[in-house]
Amino acid sequence: MPPPRILSIAGSDSSGGAGIQADIKTITMLGGYAMTAITAITAQNTLGVTAVEVLSPDLVGAQIDACLSDIGVDAVKIGMLGSPAIAAVVADRLEKLGAPVVFDPVMIATSGAALADTETIAGFERLMRLATVTTPNVAELAALGGHEGMAAHGVAYLAKGGDAEGERVEDMLCLPGQPPHVMAGTRIHTRHTHGTGCTLSSAIAIYLGKGLPLAEAVDRARLFVRSALRAAPGFGGGSGPLGHAAARG
């Protein structure tokens, strides 16, 4: 079979650990063909974000059009958007696409840096309704109204627990009208946690692009990220498959 075609719509990370760079690495490692629509350029590293320059909505839309009109797409991953106008352009392009969409609502990085303003966050509802699954971390879920707020939206979401306290990490896949599916594991202690959310969401996208059901795609993506964290430099002396890119929580 040809490799699944995955379009990542996200910001660029100058340090290579998160954003578009982490997505390309993940998609390539898992046997996919990575395409990109860059929404913003950031100056960042594992310590935080020091500068952001958002691209124009027209240019973001043109990148998406270029990929869809020629190569086509089997799944889409959405990360950092940068502005409400870009969020609207992305939603317009994906509304009739028919391919699986994974929306990682990047608004608060693990370092604490704010990556989306209030107006941009307000524009997330339309994208969440379009998405096959939305993947907020602990702080992002709270900003979206918690479990109650997500349930009110009636959308599928994966509540990631990597930023919560404790040695037991729980991720919860919640589908409208169904009981939550809880996936638990022991916390992996490593400093290489920059980019975990980007890696996880793009891994889910490629498994969906391969035709797997959502629950199986999430399970396999979690296994991929946890394996990468265990193999990252400084954990057990190994050299990880993604190195510093194996991790935003």
Query: From the candidates 195, 209, 240, 249, which is the catalytic residue?
Result: 195
The yes-or-no answer on residue 50 being catalytic is no
| Dihedral sign for Cα atoms in the order 154, 159, 165, 166 | positive
The yes-or-no answer on residue 134 being catalytic is no
The yes-or-no answer on residue 160 being catalytic is yes
Distance CA 99, CA 198 (A): 19
The yes-or-no answer on residue 193 being catalytic is yes
The yes-or-no answer on residue 82 being catalytic is no
Query: From the candidates 79, 161, 197, 249, which is the catalytic residue?
Result: 197
Query: From the candidates 36, 61, 134, 160, which is the catalytic residue?
Result: 160
Backbone angles phi, psi at 16, to 5 degrees: 80, 5
Contact 229, 219 (CB under 8 A): no
Query: From the candidates 193, 199, 209, 240, which is the catalytic residue?
Result: 193
Distance CA 206, CA 92 (A): 22
Query: From the candidates 42, 132, 196, 199, which is the catalytic residue?
Result: 196
The yes-or-no answer on residue 146 being catalytic is no
Query: From the candidates 135, 198, 199, 249, which is the catalytic residue?
Result: 198
Query: Looking at the chain, how many residues does it have?
Result: 249
Contact 242, 225 (CB under 8 A): no
Kindly list the catalytic residues.
160, 193, 195-198
